[in-house]
Homo-oligomer: A and B are copies of this chain.
């Protein structure tokens, strides 16, 4: 009997009806977790941070994405369980980890992380194992569950393949966000054959990993990696996104340095920006709404830099990013220096009005023992028993591994851009 009180359904634009059945323990667990204040807070943190300045449709929250990841992890686990009954047993751990993988994100996610100096994954762990409603719910389901969920997220859970579902180069997180960001921004680039990939995934018990099976799976994974590449090239590293992030970073940096000189700053924001110890409850008060409200108020602050940066951000008068034609350190440093001088000349503080950022698309990389990269390679089972690393099978994927997709950006206000003649020559026109 559908639609009766025993079921809860979420209508999702990507996955259509996501139905949770209270008679199934892992679904009941998910319903309770969704209903916590900690998880509802994700409604107030945008999935794509400042990207909606550039892609107007990109206004979705991490709440919506997290429910999507949980749904995909649930579907995938059910499919894997057909051949591996153990997957059904671990399901509560998997879906809870999938749902909660982003729960520790702060205001404007990745942008503030870098400047303020915290790590959203650490906070996810604290919210799962600390004094929270989430912890109570997980614990009453099973006393070990909080630690198990946290260990999936930090990749220490046994068996290892469980982490692959939630966090790897072929995980439900990426599956959901590529499709969702593609749908919300209106680009076609992020679309890929989700169903085909899910159908082709298997647990390789001997090596304790998730593998892609068969030729159809291989083609589908190539397609997925190409989608990832294109989304970075077109959306995530769009020059206006780079510029918007830089503006926000400078603004947050200024606020942090002014500290108590700022008239309006509430308690949790102050602790956070000034680097004081935050309790779990302090942290939970932080979100995009809080940050944006502060930025609105800061327009009226006395400090001219803070006030100016806040107004630029709120009214979307963003900085401009130019792609530098070089990437070697010395050349970049000298351009940076010239830009700082030029900006100073028109009366702006170079510490807040110029910066250099490097982006590098890496849609896929395989595990290299000698490198700092801790990527888990994507493995493909080409027939009965042989399992090979993906790039050895696909010239397309090799290109993605070897290609140099690095870009160095110089970012400053539009009026400074025109003031710097050497830069205007250097900058690519696009």
> A residues near B, CB below 8 A?
1-5, 10-14, 16-17, 35-37, 40, 43-44, 52, 55-57, 59-61, 63-64, 67, 83, 183-189, 191-193, 195-196, 199-200, 202, 213-217, 219, 222-223, 226, 229-230, 233-234, 266, 285, 289-290, 292-293, 296-297, 314-317, 382-384, 395-396, 398-400, 402-405, 428-430
Contact = CB atoms under 8 A, between A and B. Distances in A.
B56 A59 contact: no
A266 B300 CA distance: 13
A192 B186 contact: no
Nearest to A363: B396
5 contacts: A12-B57, A35-B316, A52-B61, A215-B428, A399-B400
B383 A429 contact: yes
Given A3-B200, A399-B400, A399-B403, 18 more contacts: A1-B83, A2-B202, A3-B199, A3-B217, A4-B214, A11-B187, A13-B183, A14-B186, A17-B195, A37-B315, A187-B193, A219-B234, A383-B429, A384-B429, A395-B402, A395-B403, A395-B405, A396-B400
B61 A67 contact: no
B2 A213 contact: yes
A395 B404 contact: yes
Contacts of A430: 3, 214-216
B186 A3 contact: no
**6 pairs of A and B residues whose beta carbons are closest in the complex:** A399-B399, A395-B403, A13-B186, A293-B293, A13-B57, A37-B315
B188 A192 contact: yes
Given A3-B214, A195-B17, A186 B398 contact: no
A230 B234 contact: no
A3 B14 CA distance: 25
A428 B56 contact: no
